[in-house]
Amino acid sequence: MAAAFVPAPSLAIAGRPRAAAVSSRRGRPAWPPRPPPPAFLHTLRASAVPPSPPSPGPDVPGSSSSPSATPTGSAGAAAGAADATGSDAAAEVSATSTPSAATGAGAAAPTAEPSLPSSALPSPNSPPPAAPRRELKGEDYSAMESAAALLLLSRAVKAVRDRGARPSGADVEAALLAIEANQRRARSVTDVRELAGEWELVFTAGAARRGRRWNPAAWPIYFPVRARQTFTLLRADAGTFDNAVYAAGTVFRFTGPFRWVGGGRNRAEFTFTTAALRVGPLPAVTFPAGGPATLDGLTAKTLPFFTFFFCRRGILAARGRGGGVALYRRIRKQDLSLKEL
């Protein structure tokens, strides 16, 4: 009986490759592929759960490294002696190695300890047993990613301070986003007392939206000039905010009030009332900045603000109203010992 002819499956469906058609049926496009994770997160995930070494197999009987190949105890000694000198020598060795022969006929023989089978004994050349592996949960990966991201931000801050090799801007931005996501998930609260003091802007990145590649102001870059922001607490939830930019011997400064919105929001709302410009040794020229003198009756819908999602270890991370993220390093801390806030 002749075999029926079965046509080969088609490699293209509706003019598209088969892989693309299968991917579209599963509900996700085959192109473009997802971008790879940042380098530091990929390294962290690869080293989070080390692979366990292969378990040693059973020892091969008769091998030189196997404990079962070497006779043990009095029986082994007797067997070795019997092979060498005969049955009489074996009986003599057995008599001298038996406890009853050494202590006399009337003495009670000690109880023999149970011996383990040779297959249960580890081989001298076998690796140590691996520790039991614990399955990592989502919160474990979040904590590990936050630790790795904080380490990268510390390196970036130190590189700017010491003028050393800096991590890439894409990695710094990814580290900021990872810390922000984990801090929001944990609902962390920022203490306004930690915010009080002077901070220097290290890194900025605009909001990740369409058209960002054509806007240089939104690129993830280390801030090219020196810019410092100072928060001075006058009350427990309010104070003054100073923003100064230093470039080519010129200082451009804005000053105004700010208020702290706590309760897990970690937001500082502010406005500028005074601006000052100083060029070289000349005295500063002060003029009004146009902002309201007080924040009473105003909300975040009309006020600029920063949301601080990390403020520890001399590192400050914030997201502005426009959607960008920023990284700061501490210059000095406000002395609150004499203030009852």
> Using one digit for the tens of pLDDT, what is the confidence trace for 265-280?
899 999 999 999 999 8
In this predicted structure, what is the pLDDT of residue 217?
A: 73
Strands (DSSP E) along 166-210, which ranges?
197-205
Rounded to the nearest 5°, which phi and psi values hold at 194? -70, -25
5-42 residue pLDDT tens: 444 444 343 444 444 444 444 554 445 455 555 565 55
In this predicted structure, what is the pLDDT of residue 111?
A: 57
153, 186 Cβ separation under 8 angstroms: no
129, 120 Cβ separation under 8 angstroms: no
In this predicted structure, what is the pLDDT of residue 70?
A: 42
150-200 residue pLDDT tens: 999 999 999 999 999 999 999 999 999 999 998 888 888 888 889 999 999
pLDDT band at 79 (very low <50, low <70, confident <90, very high): very low
* Region 315-320 average pLDDT: 94
In this predicted structure, what is the pLDDT of residue 153?
A: 94
In this predicted structure, what is the pLDDT of residue 334?
A: 86
Average pLDDT value for the chain: 73
273, 253 Cβ separation under 8 angstroms: no
What tokens does 174 get?
């990814």
87-140 residue pLDDT tens: 444 444 344 444 444 444 444 555 555 555 555 566 667 666 666 666 656 566
Secondary structure element (H or E) that encloses residue 327, with its range:
strand 325-333
Q: Assess if CATH 2.40.128.280 describes domain 191-333.
A: yes
